[in-house]
Structure 1
């Protein structure tokens, strides 16, 4: 195809003005399955959060987006900005395929501020005769009207010894040195993280991060390396881990290892790999640090499981999670919603409690936040249900003290994905939960953030669930607070 015809085809397919106008027409989101405090688009497929950064007094949140359909094709970047995670500017198309380098998709990457400019780095995807050619490219954010200006290719292809599954750059700075961390696959089909260092004459391969995970999946996606006062943390999403009874139960996982990285040898001495989320719908998170806070956004969804999401019939798929603030303690990440999310609360909480009972119920609002502590008393097994009584559906969380196992059971729902997830959770005398329930997206934080779980439920009718607590013996005490929540406030100005 001649260059002129090639350019014209892309200009027609990815007309930013037309796509942005269609997005504006889609807000406010009206369908009963559209969430109000989770970032979603009125059409198309959303996946990995990208380029999350702080610039000019705002958080900039980019994300993978196919505005042309609900397939994993035509990957672009969308963009929103917010100062407080509650008030947002409307999303716009930010970055899209436009030349031979990224004609098959603008894949994931990161954002950072350089000389007062918000820079982006991303993977260009190009395929010819089913042969993939990845390249890493810089771009500069020009504002929501113009989008991102594409700049130079800084890494032209994968290094020797690795396959073309080489992508998702993020920036890492330490001891005055600047690196890019990329997810990679060796020719032996083992997942790895690779470092490139910025030198005077360009980006040079520094080498592979030497972890203690020599055989840990066939590909590592979306790596981020942070150096925190408590230690170094490598976040990544390994593909190809075999499911076990209490871990690695999704198709693909997302987690981290924490320890100490020696930049001279690139040896990383670390503890166990921990999953960041135990729910059904969480993958490819992006983590970044700003003014001493470590924040995370995840993709609420799961690749290659699109048939489990009934919103596809309505023309859209997937969400981003709420933001989470992370803390590293003794080699373990604890997570919680940031303080800003309290602004979603509508007025004073409804306080509820019970004692010496084996069952308890509390009606929930259409969108709710619940803080709950259950003292076990005589009970050995406790169940917490989102009970959609009118439709006969139920989402159950159950905890068994003897085995210290939490179970997520979605078998009681009629639409969407089902299944069961189990994980270990230490709870000595009481079970503590913080539950955020949106229209379909639910996020739960256990034992003050020691674990988290994200999942979707799609009730067959537009009804509010009741929170039902039951046990196999008398509970010591139930204490709870429930807030009705509002949604994001979108401003087109």
Structure 2
């Protein structure tokens, strides 16, 4: 177990802000050093949104799993990130794995998975509460010592929710037969009791389910989770691991997701996993990890000493069993109003515009007689391509035109009758795309070889009726005290 000196690590974090290396993202939360992964403990408390996330401060490997913490009132200005939770005893000596946040008696508390291995490499997984006090989580009682009989030690990522006035949690699990599932626990007078597996109609759906969330959209419930070991298909499940949901009705009396639809993915890009969703004032807000396990070679920033980001915060809505996602409205405050530039062309098959280093783009492409439409982001001779086949109703994302990092393509079904709508956020090393007003989304990590301002090029097989839209230069996220060694404890 590494020695964690919080004061020393926090000072090193503060000294690393503002992020200045050209590959560092500035619209997305990331760290000046180390490996970032799963968002955790998302909760609204004392006037601010609190965001924890897994972090290895000692390298770009999946070891030394700790939690960093930041807070924001507006998703634009954040407290300086600090180390908040780290391995320190026999229960979590091999990592503080994912968990959730809650507010209890005015305190911000977290519930997380303790990971420990013995000399033979056998894993033990326990669930533990802690309370955030002066920037650090004070560890408290172990509330679930291990998985129930019939399940392996792959037992992690607790998520709290209320049902019929009583606190419950869902947790990712694996049966002894190596089948992924979600278990449900109920809080009782003297602890927590396991109600069993929340059954679904999904068959042969992976060997492990991670990062479950259970939430309600009015009279419909959504079970979100990350299955591992699900084979790819032509138009979905194309990443090594998936992140998605089923929508139906959760009955904890029957212990089943009733009348649910098929599994759908939150994001169609290359680099999205382990999302967590929290609710405040009626908004379901999702933050995901912009990365992918077991794909280390796709992320060359490791050579610079850091890797991965969190996604933009997205607000989710459910319509007819399908989740739509949109960037949080607060992000509009990042727009430089004086840089607003209209994008307009009538009866053209080609159009281009020079972008800013940090850009938001809103596009409406009235296709007319065009059946093949492409939107390219060009970085000198490199490019990322979004190509829409109107006849097949398929969107294809290709990043084979990039020299560094991951490549390949992703394809998914998308129906656009007359107008193809897109919204793009372009960061130094990332693009987040929203299609058809959030019907689908895609997260893509990019590593342009040269430090060059991108250009957007739109073209089609024949003239389109109209190209319309707008773009803005965006302000980078601001971290309080950056450049001044701020303590990050103001929220």
- Determine which of 204, 209, 213 is the counterpart of 1:220: 209
- Determine which of 172, 179, 191 is the counterpart of 2:180: 191
- Determine which of 449, 454, 468 is the counterpart of 1:465: 454
Q: How does 1:309-458 map to 2 (within 5 A)?
A: 309-348=299-338, 349-389=340-380, 392-458=381-447
Partner of residue 39, structure 2: 49
In structure 2, distance between residues paired with 1:39 and 1:22: 17
Deviations 1:358-416 (A, max 9, x none): 11101101100000010111211001000123xx1110000001100000000000011
Q: How does 1:161-180 map to 2 (within 5 A)?
A: 161-180=150-169
In structure 2, distance between residues paired with 1:250 and 1:375: 31
Q: CA deviation at 1:230?
A: 4.0
Tell me, what secondary structure is at the counterpart of 1:342? helix
Verify the 8 A CA contact 1:172 1:179 in the aligned structure 2: yes
Q: CA deviation at 1:438?
A: 0.7
Deviations 1:128-181 (A, max 9, x none): 11100000000001132xx00000000001111111100000001011111111
Q: Does 1:120 align with 2:110?
A: yes
Deviations 1:419-468 (A, max 9, x none): 01000001111100000001111100000000000011111111111110
Partner of residue 285, structure 2: 295
Verify the 8 A CA contact 1:230 1:329 in the aligned structure 2: no
Verify the 8 A CA contact 1:409 1:419 in the aligned structure 2: yes
Q: Does 1:231 align with 2:248?
A: no
TM-score normalised over the length of structure 2: 0.97
In structure 1, distance between residues paired with 2:324 and 2:89: 42
In structure 1, distance between residues paired with 2:351 and 2:281: 43
In structure 1, distance between residues paired with 2:460 and 2:319: 32
- Determine which of 47, 61, 75 is the counterpart of 1:85: 75
In structure 2, distance between residues paired with 1:426 and 1:143: 50
Tell me, what secondary structure is at the counterpart of 1:386? strand
Partner of residue 130, structure 1: 121
Partner of residue 4, structure 1: none
Q: CA deviation at 1:352?
A: 1.5
Tell me, what secondary structure is at the counterpart of 1:474? strand
In structure 1, distance between residues paired with 2:174 and 2:124: 14
Q: Please, which runs of 5 or more residues in structure 1 have no aligned partner?
A: 1-8
Verify the 8 A CA contact 1:174 1:227 in the aligned structure 2: no
Q: CA deviation at 1:228?
A: 2.3
Q: CA deviation at 1:84?
A: 0.5
List 4+ stretches of structure 1 deviating above 3 A: none
Q: What is the alpha-carbon root mean square deviation over aligned residues? A: 0.8
TM-score normalised over the length of structure 1: 0.96
**Greater RCO, CA 8 A, separation 6+:** 2
Verify the 8 A CA contact 1:230 1:328 in the aligned structure 2: no
Partner of residue 132, structure 2: 141
Q: Please, which runs of 5 or more residues in structure 2 have no aligned partner?
A: 487-491
Partner of residue 489, structure 1: 478
Q: CA deviation at 1:63?
A: 0.1
Q: Does 1:268 align with 2:257?
A: yes
Deviations 1:282-318 (A, max 9, x none): 0000011111000000000011111111100000010
- Determine which of 38, 43, 48 is the counterpart of 2:28: 38
In structure 1, distance between residues paired with 2:244 and 2:219: 17
In structure 2, distance between residues paired with 1:364 and 1:180: 45
In structure 1, distance between residues paired with 2:30 and 2:350: 36
Partner of residue 304, structure 1: 294
Count residues in correspondence. 479
Partner of residue 3, structure 1: none
Tell me, what secondary structure is at the counterpart of 1:428? coil
In structure 2, distance between residues paired with 1:328 and 1:478: 29
